[in-house]
Structure 1
Amino acid sequence: MRLLPAAAFVAAPLLVGAAPAFAADIAIETPVAVEAIQQDGWLVTLKATGTISPKFEGSGKYGVSGMPGLSVRRPNQPWKFGAPDDGFGFPVLDTAWFQAGPVARIRGERDSSDDHKFRGMRDIDWAIEPGLFVEFYPYEKIRVRGELRHGVWGHSGFVGNVSADWIERFDRLVISVGPRMEIGDGKFMDTYYGVNGPEALRNGRVSPYKADGGIKSVGFASAVTYDWTEHWSSTLFGGYDRLTGDAAKSPVAKTLGSKNALTVGLGVAYTFGVNW
């Protein structure tokens, strides 16, 4: 099972846990029963998520990874939807139909030893991508969200995500589905999908290639969340992404990896009240 390295493992809950009213990293929110009991203090949700997905950007090989999570909010704050692929963030502006605030994501490393086709290609470190998000509800069952982030460590480019979700809630059950799009600038795209001369020589299967900025991928995602008790809930989620533009034309995807990426995951959350 692929787990985050120590620094990223520590950073993940800190990115989520630095302030109240966070958007969920998986679509698990506090059950109504807990809110009825806890009227003051804070509601804390501890989360664990397991995912089957490509080992790294552009790879056609799949692996299992794990991610911890943490969210904190006031009991009287209204329920807000959180999709499995949202970045970790919290709203500074928060109304019934609009939210905006800081956000961050962790992007996995590329270790060429994980996929023999990538031998000779440069390794890429784990990246943390801080930035801003906005989301709004043009209709009570539709959420539109956008994120713009800048990479540190693994890459130094700008990357953004645009998503929309149709949300249905049936008592303890929440179902969501909607389209996805990811965009990157030239630095981001060339880091993950470009091939330099030494790489091409070492690998022997690819030619040098420079990837420019644009739309990296399009796809869709869906999730089903169920509150089993007043404390425990779980989320089953999945998604599909198809590389486009310079990412799809890159030998990283065409020759060494794949243009298609599937993700399936399961998250479990435990919620409890504290008086701080």
Structure 2
Amino acid sequence: MPLRRALAGLALTAAAASAGATPVSLPGSLPNMAGLGIGSTTEFAGGKDRMVGVVPGLRYVTPGGRLLEWYGPYAQFNFGGLTGFQWGPAVGLRLGRNNVDDPVVSRMHEIDTTVEAGGFIGYEYLNEGRIPWRLRGGVNVMTNAGIVYGGTHIAATGSLWVPLHPRVYAGVGLGATWVSGSFNRTYFGVTPSDAAASGLPVYNPGGGLEQLTGWLALIYQFDKHWYGGAMVYGQRLAGDAADSPIVTQRGTRNQITYGVGLGYAWR
């Protein structure tokens, strides 16, 4: 779930969903960095009960100029440049739905945590004027190859980073995610056995636009090596995902993740 990816981004931006929706892009001018983030997010996609999570992260530029980004359950390796076109493989860990607090949803079938794989392509532009802002956009395609769900989910994202001060970065991002029918049936569907156990109506969703996302973040450089910051990440479920009884009767289509983090940087 993209909310977990947002939590993971907190570890490096010093700013929590990944989940699942898409990773939070960092400005390319930052040095190598490793860190931890802590934040609050919902227990599952469409839910309203919350949980607290602690996640690690790593941003590392290899001696050959390739960029590795690891945000909690999501990692990607960029074979392109730190600016200009970027592309490469990606892997992710999509958290399941089990042992949830909601007394109705807890009666439904559990969903296993699973590994995803795919790739991304994007472009990063650096304006080298008096205020060196950075604009980054891209598309990410991931699949589970039918282990837990079939088909794919595709996320389009864009982000802008602007230095407000030599020690302060401000970031804003927008995104949208499209998913297969199998993905929606796994995470938002209600099977006949689920309906009998929970009392929710049977629901068999199709694919399409699953969510719209947006985030705001601030990074502050304490000294040569230490960065800290905060972040708020919002998701609004759409289409068949938003119409699921899991969302309309037991949860909410508006999902918020927020948190703070601390990172150690080196050149």
Deviates more, 1:181-190 or 1:103-112: 103-112
Shift of 1:271: 2.7
In structure 2, the residue matched to 1:150 is 143
Contact 2:58 2:71 in 1 (8 A): no
Structure exhibiting the larger radius of gyration computed from Cα positions? 1
In structure 2, the residue matched to 1:67 is 55
After superposition, the Cα gap between the structure-2 partners of 1:95 and 1:63, relative to the gap in structure 1 and judged at 3 Å, is closer
Shift of 1:146: 1.2
The 5-angstrom pairing of residues 180-219 of structure 1 reads 180-204=175-199, 206-219=200-213
Q: Give the structure-2-normalised TM-score.
A: 0.78
Contact 2:28 2:83 in 1 (8 A): no
After superposition, the Cα gap between the structure-2 partners of 1:252 and 1:112, relative to the gap in structure 1 and judged at 3 Å, is farther
State the secondary structure of the residue aligned to 1:114.
coil
State the alpha-carbon separation in 1 of the partners of residues 155 and 51 from structure 2: 23
| Aligned-pair identity (%) | 24
**Structure 2: runs of 5+ lacking an equivalent:** 5-22, 128-133
In structure 2, the residue matched to 1:16 is none
Counterpart of 1:54 (choices 21, 42, 46) is 42
State the alpha-carbon separation in 2 of the partners of residues 83 and 167 from structure 1: 19
State the alpha-carbon separation in 1 of the partners of residues 156 and 162 from structure 2: 20
Tell me the amino acid that sits aligned with residue 147 of structure 1: N
Contact 2:78 2:86 in 1 (8 A): yes
Q: Give the structure-1-normalised TM-score.
A: 0.76
State the secondary structure of the residue aligned to 1:258.
coil
Shift of 1:250: 0.9
State the alpha-carbon separation in 1 of the partners of residues 230 and 25 from structure 2: 9
The 5-angstrom pairing of residues 9-28 of structure 1 reads 27=26
Contact 2:35 2:263 in 1 (8 A): yes
Shift of 1:131: 1.1
Deviates more, 1:158-167 or 1:68-77: 68-77
In structure 1, the residue matched to 2:15 is none
State the alpha-carbon separation in 2 of the partners of residues 131 and 91 from structure 1: 13
Counterpart of 2:120 (choices 98, 117, 133) is 133
Shift of 1:262: 0.4
Shift of 1:269: 1.2
Shift of 1:114: 2.6
State the secondary structure of the residue aligned to 1:256.
coil
In structure 1, the residue matched to 2:243 is 249
Q: Deviations over 1:13-59 (max 9, x none)?
A: xxxxxxxxxxx867487866xxxxxxxxxx5x322121211111111
**Structure 1: runs of 5+ lacking an equivalent:** 5-23, 33-42
In structure 1, the residue matched to 2:8 is none
What number of residue pairs does the alignment pair up? Answer: 238
After superposition, the Cα gap between the structure-2 partners of 1:29 and 1:52, relative to the gap in structure 1 and judged at 3 Å, is farther
State the alpha-carbon separation in 2 of the partners of residues 31 and 246 from structure 1: 39
After superposition, the Cα gap between the structure-2 partners of 1:123 and 1:86, relative to the gap in structure 1 and judged at 3 Å, is closer
State the alpha-carbon separation in 2 of the partners of residues 241 and 67 from structure 1: 20
Contact 2:70 2:76 in 1 (8 A): no
